[in-house]
Amino acid sequence: MIVTSSGTEHFVFDGHVHLGRARPYQTSNVGVDAYHAEDLIRDMDQAGVDMAVAFPRAEPITDYTSGNGYVLEAARRYPTRIVPYARINPYFADRCLDQIDQYAARGVRGIKLHPFKDFGATAVNSVDFIHPILERAGRHGLVVIIHSGGPWNATPTLIGDLALSFPSVNFILAHAGGELEEDTMVVAKLLPTSNYYVDCAGVHNPKTIGRLVRALGADHVLFGSDRASVPYGFEISKIARYAALDDQTVAGILGGNLLKLLGIEPDVAAYQRVDLAAI
Ligand SMILES: [Zn+2]
């Protein structure tokens, strides 16, 4: 929990962490070869982060059996801190659907798709390629977080099309559409469904967070750090200090909204308090 200068306490739930080993060609933009569960817990403790969603780092030549296994094991060791999602590589088409069944049985709460790194030649709204995966995820009540941004196959519009096609599945646009954040806000206004969420990972201008709140609704904007890439201090402070949001909105973005989305009710008394000014 973080404690603000006025003494308000906020439960902090990070919806976007990459755990495990990185392939050599992936280290340049992350800076570390491996980000283990112990590294994450240490960083969370320092920054007042109570829970974190974790999924594997990019290994697009694999079906993520190894990476997902690592994340599941981390969640088993830290059940009150780490919530597992499975990263799915749609190129392993036949295996994917069975994998989703198995991961759901092992406790994952969502799936992660990365159109840019894992299936760059195919649009994320492909009926033949992606719809079966989403149908299966929906059957298990899993949320679907998708890297969003400028890559042609990961735009807010294509993900909006998925939200229309699968109204009972909740979609989270990682990075809020990135450089296409304006498109995210327009799509959110046009969509008749309420299953279109964003995380703030990498949103660099704190003012954008207030605009996302107005466009999507305060309960559809989520905290996500993209650890190990970005330091917690910036990702939390831009929401809790620099975005000029009221306490209730901050509380929702930092943790309340994702707790509600996943139906998790933590024992908040059991988590440590950290001063916001110290992170
Ligand atoms: Zn990420």
Say which CATH superfamily domain 2-278 falls into: Metal-dependent hydrolases (3.20.20.140)
Of residues 23 and 130, more confidently modeled: 130
At 122, is the pLDDT very low, low, confident or very high (cuts 50, 70, 90)? very high
CA of 7 to the centre of ligand 1 (A): 31
pLDDT computed for residue 138 by the predictor? 98
CA of 227 to the centre of ligand 1 (A): 8
Closest to 3 measured CA to CA, from 278, 248, 252: 278
The DSSP bridge partners found for residue 110 are 85, 143
CA of 58 to the centre of ligand 1 (A): 9
Could you tell me if 156 and 148 are in contact, meaning their C-beta atoms sit under 8 angstroms apart? Answer: yes
pLDDT in tens, 93-118: 889 999 999 999 999 999 999 999 99
At 150, is the pLDDT very low, low, confident or very high (cuts 50, 70, 90)? confident
CA of 212 to the centre of ligand 1 (A): 19
pLDDT in tens, 165-213: 999 999 999 999 999 999 999 999 999 999 999 999 999 999 999 999 9
CA of 57 to the centre of ligand 1 (A): 8
**pLDDT at residue 7 tops 80:** yes
Could you tell me if 90 and 96 are in contact, meaning their C-beta atoms sit under 8 angstroms apart? Answer: yes
CA of 18 to the centre of ligand 1 (A): 6
pLDDT computed for residue 28 by the predictor? 44
The position carrying tokens 């320092």 is 46
pLDDT computed for residue 69 by the predictor? 97
